[in-house]
Amino acid sequence: MIRAQIEASTLEEYYTKLRAAQEKAHGAGYTAYHDCIREHCGIAAHYLEIGVNQGASLAAAMLGGFVVVEGMDINLSNIAPHRHLFGDYCQRARIVMDLWECDSLAFEPKDVDFLFIDGNHQTAHVAAELNRHGPHVTRFILLHDTAKYRELHPLAERWAGANGWTVQERNTSGAGHTLLERQAC
């Protein structure tokens, strides 16, 4: 993951430039997960992200239409210079946003519609995140980098099968992503 130097005066401009920088550095398929996030905002209102970094996917969720957007990262220094753009957009769009600087496994689970996991990519850590936060998710779990870290997609499949979820989408372009959907009760 790159750390792009972005000058922007709005969240829309920041997102456009940051996505372009990510695609330039990692290839066009790298940001396919942004589109996956945005496609599901109409059927999921509350979004939680693990691994905020510079906030590209957080911005995608906000611009896509999620009404409650929350993010956590062990260190929020990469988003800090542009945090005001997120706050300004939240006021204009009437979005509730909260950010926490903490470890995802220490964070008290919340009931959310959509969980995006893109922090620590060690298999045991992702499994622990799924076990801790997954039961509190009502609709979708999206894992990024499941092609880059090849053990993550099989982990997602196993976890989904054991916990009443299905693999809804698997994208292997770029770093890849896997979208899980909760099965109807």
Region 116-130 average pLDDT: 97
> What is the DSSP-derived secondary structure letter of residue 174?
T
How buried is residue 183: exposed, middle or buried, by Cβ count under 10 Å (0-12/13-18/19+)? exposed
- Residue 21's pLDDT is 95
**pLDDT, averaged across the chain:** 95
Residue 73 above 90 pLDDT? yes
The domain segmentation of the chain, as residue ranges, is 11-182
List the structure tokens of 185: 């009760």
Residue reference for tokens 């993550």: 152
Q: Residues 6 or more apart from 162 whose CB is under 8 A from it?
A: none
Region 84-89 average pLDDT: 98
Residue 55 above 80 pLDDT? yes
Cβ atoms of 97 and 72 within 8 Å: the answer is no
Q: 25-29, 34-38, 122-126, 129-133: which has the minimum mean pLDDT?
A: 25-29
Closest CA to 137 of 114, 166, 160, 164: 114
Q: Which residues of 109-130 are buried (b: 16+ CB within 10 A; e: fewer)?
A: eeebbbbbbbbbbeeebbbebb
Residue 2 above 80 pLDDT? no
Q: Which CATH superfamily is domain 11-182 in?
A: Vaccinia Virus protein VP39 (3.40.50.150)
Instruction: Return the beta strands (E) in the chain as ranges.
Output: 46-50, 68-73, 96-101, 112-117, 137-144, 165-171, 177-182
Residues above pLDDT 70, as percent of the chain = 98
Region 69-73 average pLDDT: 97
Closest CA to 83 of 67, 100, 68: 100
The confidence band for 140, taking pLDDT boundaries of 50, 70 and 90, is very high
- Residue 43's pLDDT is 79
- Residue 185's pLDDT is 58
Each residue of 27-40: pLDDT tens digit?
988 999 999 999 98
Dihedral, CA of residue 76, residue 81, residue 83 and residue 88, to nearest 10: 180
Residue reference for tokens 């936060």: 133
The confidence band for 71, taking pLDDT boundaries of 50, 70 and 90, is very high
